[in-house]
Amino acid sequence: MSTELESTRRALRDAVAQAERAAELARLLDAAQARLAEAEQRAEEAKALAEQLSETEERLAAEQAAADKLRKELAEQRFQAEVANWKLSSIKVARWNRLGDAIKSGKSNPVRLARGLKGAAKPVKRPTAPKRKPVATANKAQDERPGAAFQATTSTRTLGGAQFKLKPFRVPTGPNTRPHLTAAVIADPHAEALLRYEWRQTTGFTPRDFARVLPLEVPHLLVVESVTQGPWAEEIIGEPGEGLKSLLAWCAERGIRTVFWHTKGDVSAYAQAADLFEHRFTADLTVAWPRLQFGVQPRVHNPLPLSGGRIDRVLTLDQLLPEHLTYPDVLTSYRWPAAADCPPGTPQWRLAEIAACGTPIGTEADSRRAHVALRRAYAMGTMSERIDEMLDAIGLPSARPTLNTSVLLPIVDPYTMEHALAQVARQSGVDQVIVIGPPEAELRARDVLPDVEVIHRRPAPSMTVGAMLNAGIDLCEADLVAVMDPRDVYGPHYLSDLRRAFLFSTADIVGKAAFYAHLRKPQATLLKQPEAEYGYLPEIAGGTLLARRNALRELGFADLTEGWDEVLMRQCRTDGVKVFSADRFGYVRVRDEDRWLLGAAQLVEYGSAEPHALI
């Protein structure tokens, strides 16, 4: 009897414990769903505010343009009134007019007539003709940042007789890659757009005023493209002009390196001018000069979406890029269609630019193929890498910030060690790994990662994951720090894809708010927040965190095993630290079960997540 009673008591205790755990899980699920709803609401509010800001900026620009137009019209009316007064004054002092006045007033008085005729014969100074004065525009400090005067203007497109209003892509206004270097550049709009973020750039000078403009900030080098229009075209096509010769002589006197870059047209038309430069480069494979091809410019060729989203149509290249678009408007068009159907013979640089903007190339809107094409476009070379090659060739320093990466790997469960080290070994661009785990992890890490600096620390038995990360952050030496979860799966392109976001975003922390997850018990593959790609969001998953080292040191990690990432994201929102969510690919969150994910993600299928995520 006592045995049955004790068994019943144990069963009751177990039932109560399970009920308490179930209640706690339900509470946690409700809290997670509330946080998710709050985050989604904040994201929607941020999106709405961004759209309102864009519309306000457009209205302000339109009002400023209207005000400038009214100022010009008022100034013209004042000028015409001054001209009319001048003409009247000129008529009054004209000799024939004064003689007529004298005759009319003295026709009945001979003495007055004689005196009037004598006065009319004397010369009188005529009034000075008025001159047009420059029209004052709205007081606005000139913005010298790259791209400040390089914004899209054509916001409508026409397809099949229907007009579509686009939210223009906002061209970023800095910073540049090498602020220590100044270049004077003569280039067509396309090349100028690719170069403007690589250094401090001086443009707009002409053969007549370069001697006045360039001394304001003496450049380190002069780069001249094979331009086809503008004031410099006739100086460099055929016989070199005197303006070009004077510019090169001015550079030679000051030790400024000179570079000619042949990008288009028959090289023979530019050969005589090119011979006057110290260095020559070409994008033409048939020309025997050093190569300098176009590369994608991450600041403008990137998958950041238009605020109005994409149109649900596949466009031909002619529909995508009608004539007479400025290059900023071209950047808007790149992001507009569901896919771009490009014909054979489309220049490789054009295909790379479209792919780098995340637009699928072909007749179908395939996000997986688009992501692979984007990756390949960047792998072909960015303009930063092209300029590195050029600067090395002409003897100028090509130093710029790096994307070197240290990985923080906290291993709580020894059974996950082999899996965790294998995930790090798949990555490229890792300079250092901080392994915080059992003693055997050190030797094993050195075997698995022979070309990477391995630093091992053994954690105290009571240390949380947050405490382990805090202990490791001070050991990191690379510019970027990644946190990898030993339970999860990371594809071979995971870190290289994630690092790319630092080339075009202004965030201090990058990660994934959109990602695939796999739950072992139900064998379910889920997709979390697919709409959260490529945007600034309140939070990302802790297992995908990649951050600038100094920012992460200042933030620190909460002394928690579960939820340290939520506290970190909350601190980012408090401190105004920007967090950017990249693409959904390259990562799988793996758990036995996760009620929060079940309530916050959509079911993809029952089966492995890797075929969906690892491309």
The answer to whether 514 touches 530, Cβ cutoff 8 Å, is yes
504 Cβ partners below 8 Å, 6+ apart? 172, 298, 299, 302, 304
417 Cβ partners below 8 Å, 6+ apart? 411, 437, 438, 440, 441, 444, 486
Distance CA 546, CA 581 (A): 11
DSSP state of 490: E
Sole residue written with tokens 């019943």: 8
Distance CA 476, CA 557 (A): 14
Helix or strand (DSSP H, E) at 434: strand 430-436
Rounded to 10°, the helix 440-448/417-425 angle is 30
The pTM of this model reads 0.76
Burial class (CB in 10 A: 0-12, 13-18, 19+), 566: middle
Of the candidate ranges 28-42, 256-270, 272-286, 568-582, the one whose mean pLDDT is the lowest: 28-42
The answer to whether 406 touches 435, Cβ cutoff 8 Å, is no
Distance of CA 221 to the CA centre of its chain: 25
Distance CA 504, CA 510 (A): 11
pLDDT at 134: 65
SS3 state of residue 528:
strand
Of the candidate ranges 94-108, 203-217, 533-547, the one whose mean pLDDT is the lowest: 94-108
Tokens of 442: 């050190």
Distance CA 67, CA 62 (A): 9
Average pLDDT over residues 295-309: 93
440 Cβ partners below 8 Å, 6+ apart? 414, 417
Model confidence over 550-589: pLDDT tens digits? Answer: 999 999 999 999 999 999 999 999 999 999 999 999 999 9
pLDDT at 143: 47
Of the candidate ranges 55-59, 173-177, 535-539, 554-558, the one whose mean pLDDT is the lowest: 55-59
The answer to whether 218 touches 355, Cβ cutoff 8 Å, is no
The answer to whether 481 touches 430, Cβ cutoff 8 Å, is no
For residue 432, which of 458, 404, 401 has the smallest C-alpha distance?
A: 404
pLDDT at 283: 94
Tokens of 157: 């497109």
Tokens of 465: 């994951």
Model confidence over 15-39: pLDDT tens digits? Answer: 776 767 667 666 766 766 776 677 6
Residue 42 clears pLDDT 90, i.e. is over it? no
Residue 186 clears pLDDT 50, i.e. is over it? yes
The one-letter code for the residue type at 475 is L
What is the Rg, in whole angstroms, of the alpha carbon atoms belonging to the chain? Answer: 34
Distance CA 332, CA 76 (A): 36
Residue 605: other Cβ atoms inside 10 A: 12
Q: 221 pairs with which residues across the strands?
A: 183, 257
Distance CA 245, CA 254 (A): 15
pLDDT at 424: 97
Distance CA 167, CA 165 (A): 7
pLDDT at 138: 52
Local confidence band at 142 (pLDDT 50, 70, 90 cut-offs): very low
Distance CA 312, CA 334 (A): 14
* Exposure of 551 in the CB half-sphere (CA atoms within 13 A): 22
Burial class (CB in 10 A: 0-12, 13-18, 19+), 158: exposed
Local confidence band at 544 (pLDDT 50, 70, 90 cut-offs): very high
pLDDT at 187: 95
DSSP line for 271-313 = HHHHTTSSEEEES-TTSSS-B----B-TTTSS-PPPTT---SS
Tell me, letter by letter, the H, E, C secondary structure of 129-173: CCCCCCCCCCCCCCCCCCCCCCCCCCCEEEECCEEEECCCCCCCC
Average pLDDT over residues 487-499: 97
Distance CA 258, CA 263 (A): 16
pLDDT at 139: 47
Tokens of 298: 């991450």
Model confidence over 221-244: pLDDT tens digits? Answer: 999 999 998 999 999 999 999 999
pLDDT at 176: 85
What is the share, in percent, of the chain residues with pLDDT greater than 70? 83
Distance CA 99, CA 210 (A): 55
pLDDT at 61: 65
Model confidence over 443-470: pLDDT tens digits? Answer: 999 999 999 999 999 999 889 999 999 9
SS3 state of residue 382:
strand
2 Cβ partners below 8 Å, 6+ apart? none
Q: 453 pairs with which residues across the strands?
A: 432
Sole residue written with tokens 């993600």: 601
pLDDT at 24: 66
pLDDT at 162: 87
Distance CA 105, CA 120 (A): 12
Residue 4 clears pLDDT 80, i.e. is over it? no
Of the candidate ranges 248-252, 283-287, 509-513, the one whose mean pLDDT is the lowest: 283-287
Residue 141 clears pLDDT 50, i.e. is over it? no
Sole residue written with tokens 């494979």: 285
Average pLDDT over residues 93-109: 66
pLDDT at 146: 56
Sole residue written with tokens 């946080």: 35
Burial class (CB in 10 A: 0-12, 13-18, 19+), 485: buried
Sheet holding 405-410, edge to edge: 453-457, 430-436, 405-410, 480-483, 546-548, 509-511, 579-581, 535-536
DSSP line for 322-380 = -TT--HHHHHHHHTSSSEEEPPTT--HHHHHHHHHTT--BSSS--HHHHHHHHHHHHHT
Residue 140 clears pLDDT 50, i.e. is over it? no
